[in-house]
Structure 1
Amino acid sequence: MKEGLKLTEIPREESLSKKDFLAKYVKPQKPVVIEKLIGDWPAYEKWSLDYMKQMAGEKVVPLFDDRPISSKYKFNEPHERMKMGDYIELLKKGPTSYRVFLYHLLKEVPALQKDFSYPNIGLRLLKQIPMLFFGGEGSKVFMHYDIDYANILHFHFHGKKQCILFPPSETKYLYKVPHALIAREDIDFMNPDYEKFPALKKAQGLITELKHGETLYMPEGYWHQMTYLTAGFSMSLRATPRNLKNLSKAVYNVFFMRHFDNYMRSWKGQKWIDYKNEQAVKRTNRKNKITQ
């Protein structure tokens, strides 16, 4: 049998006090699943695909799929657009690669804001940008870390979702693409090709399966790949980095890195994408003293 990645289960807590959450997870920057953090939210009972269709069916949403990144699209530029109602019907029919990613649906449909509250758990959550993410059965997000190095509370609704995480310390093994926030897109993290990507053997990550109403805390700069085991959706609330070094990285990413990458894509085209993918392998193998 082919050897898989070294993945351990993310710790789980039924509930957590603010003091324990900060001491056990935020301060040491360790992820955790909190099973009953939002049991008192109206969203816990109400939020489903049908409810979202009822509330936002006429809204046009940006869609992303799993096609390889190319010079045709800018950073986080959608591949398609569709009415939310039509998209949800697509999700209900069966597997699809189309996802809604980083969509501020709560701004578009203010009534949804009555369905949740901001947990008093010790994080200074940004109340302006709650984001929703939708996906069809089998769809997945590339392994990446977030541009703003936020501390994230990720709440899942309707179905099941697999989450693979790696701490920033494992970046040196993950074939990070330079001038980007992703690992090589052709890595299958559930069935890794160690001949092509030998450094992955050293990577130590975490895994969990989120169910309806569960909350995943992801610390600053954590790599994550999400796979929708069933059609469903999630919401993220964010808090700014507590670590000054990570805050400076976030500023660099937002105000320089993504604009530089978009410029190079428009100038060099696919050659720039190919160059970055080649460098991801060369630099990772060099750091780990691997010769091929």
Structure 2
Amino acid sequence: MKDEGLKLKQIPREERISKEDFLEKYVRPQKPVVIEHLIEDWPAYKKWNLDYIEQVAGEKVVPLYDDRPISSKFKFNEPHTRMKMSEYIELLKSKPTNYRIFLYHMLKEVPKLQQDFKFPDLGLRFLKQLPTLFFGGENSKVFMHYDIDFANILHFHFHGKKQCILYPPSESQYLYKVPHALISREDIDFTNPDFDKFPALKKARGYVTELKHGETLYMPEGYWHQMTYLTAGFSMSLRATPRTVTNFSKAVYNLIFMRHFDNYMRKWKGQKWIDYKNEQAVKRTHRKNKIES
């Protein structure tokens, strides 16, 4: 990342942390943290790598996503292709690929993996039916977004390294948020941003870290996040309910109205709707920040 790039602080790190300190220092003030040794007593810490996943889930057909821009052809979170997990993992091990697995429902698809982890006692109200896996190839990227349900997230990384860029909700006004969506403009490269085209990004204040195998990232509710797989690898997320009525209400709105409205408009207007939203992302951001487009 260039020296004149985004204004990012390193996410604080704790080797270990008590429930009381975690709640007091990070959850209540809604600040991110990396916990380095939270899961060393999990079987997953020693067992989970690409070879093991191929062994226990190789015959599963999995949904894959790449980095193509959102278009009217696909619905919200609709995969771009599918293949057997064994074929996908062999692809990951052989060369860089843009194909990723997103929100893979582990408990339902591979129950055996439930034996390898536990829900940490950190004072969060976990949604215990929603552990999900994410896979990516070397150099693949997840666009900047925030999660539809405003969950508090524990994100555990396995096999390799991943860079994570985070922004608190307070920075949304600088991130070229696409209206009626949960993403920023997809043509923004957050590892090397074009400030001539997207000048408001200069004002954004965020965080960055590099996760290694076995490390845990806490992302507070509503935080923007962008991931880059520095090597092939995978992660698991555990989700906990929003702590405030405001964010719970936003989650309900996103799930019940926004998602379906956007799908309807894409079906009705097609690519014109996508283009309109991308144009509005720039116009609204520049208007808020008094920048001449």
Q: Per the shorter chain, which TM-score range?
A: over 0.9
Kindly state the Cα deviation for residue 106 of structure 1 after the two structures are TM-superposed. Answer: 2.7
2:248 maps to which residue?
247
Q: What TM-score, normalized by structure 1, do the two folds share?
A: 0.99
Partner of 2:139, secondary structure, is coil
Displacement of 1:55 in angstroms is: 0.2
Q: Deviations over 1:18-65 (max 9, x none)?
A: 000000000000000000000000000000000000000000000000
Which residue of 2 is the match for residue 147 of structure 1?
148
How large is the Cα RMSD of the aligned pairs? 0.7
- Structure 1 unaligned residues grouped into runs of 5+: none
Give the secondary-structure state (helix, strand or coil) at the position aligned to 2:127: coil
In the alignment, residue 202 of structure 1 is paired with which amino acid? Answer: K
Task: Give the Å deviation of 1:126.
Answer: 1.0
Query: In structure 1, what is the equivalent of residue 102 of structure 2?
Result: 101
Following superposition, the deviation at residue 232 of structure 1 comes to: 0.2
5+ residue gaps in structure 2? none
Name the structure 2 match of 1:26: 27
Residue type of the partner of 2:145? H
Matches within 5 A, 1:1-20: 3-20=4-21
Q: Which moved more, 1:120-129 or 1:35-44?
A: 120-129
Q: How many Å separate the matches in 2 of 1:234 and 1:114?
A: 16
- Contact 2:107/2:129 (<8 A) preserved: no
Deviation at 1:76, TM superposition (A): 0.2
Tell me if 1:59 matches 2:56.
no
Amino acid of the residue matched to residue 141 of structure 1? V
Distance 1:267 1:135 in 2: 33
Q: Could you tell me which residue of structure 2 aligns to residue 216 of structure 1?
A: 217
Distance 2:225 2:69 in 1: 18
The one-letter amino acid paired with 2:183 is I
Q: Which residue of 2 aligns with 1:181?
A: 182
- In structure 1, the partner of 2:120 is 119
State the AA in 1 paired with 2:8.
Answer: L
Secondary structure of 1:61's partner? strand
Partner of 1:265: 266
What SS does structure 2 have at the residue aligned with 1:86?
Answer: helix
Aligned-residue offset at 1:105: 2.3
Offset at residue 275 of structure 1 (A): 0.1
Q: Deviations over 1:59-89 (max 9, x none)?
A: 0000000001000000000000010000000
Counterpart for residue 170 of structure 1: 171
Between the aligned partners of 1:158 and 1:107, the Cα distance in structure 2 is 22
Q: Kindly report which structure 2 residues correspond to 1:40-51, keeping only aligned pairs within 5 A, or say none.
A: 40-51=41-52
For 2:255, give the aligned amino acid. Answer: V
Over the matched positions of the two proteins, sequence identity in percent amounts to 80
Question: Which letter maps to 1:211?
Answer: K
Report matched runs for 1:70-89 at 5 Å: 70-89=71-90
Distance 2:194 2:138 in 1: 24
Q: What's the offset of the Cα at 1:191?
A: 1.1
* Partner in structure 2 of residue 159 of structure 1: 160
How far, CA to CA, are the matches of 1:23 and 1:289 in structure 2? Answer: 37
Q: In the aligned structure 1, how far is the partner of 2:117 from the partner of 2:106?
A: 13
Q: How far apart are 1:163 and its partner, in Å?
A: 0.1
Match of 2:192? 191
In 2, distance between residues paired with 1:62 and 1:215?
25
- Tell me how far 1:260 sits from its aligned partner: 0.2
**Alpha-carbon deviation of 1:124?**
1.0
Q: In structure 2, what residue type is equivalent to 1:206?
A: Y
Sort the Cα spacing of 1:75 and 1:34 in 2 relative to 1 into closer, same or farther, 3 A.
same
Residue number in structure 2 paired with 1:236: 237
Q: CA deviation at 1:2?
A: 6.7
| 3-state SS in 2 of match to 1:88 | helix
User: What's the secondary structure of 1:142's corresponding residue?
Assistant: strand
For 1:43 and 1:282, how far apart are their aligned partners in 2?
46
CA distance in 2, matches of 1:114, 1:191: 40
One-letter code aligned to 1:108: E
**Once the 2 structures are TM-superposed, how far is the Cα of residue 107 of structure 1 from its aligned partner?**
1.5
Cα distance in 2 for residues equivalent to 1:112 and 1:106: 7
| Alignment coverage as a number of residue pairs | 292
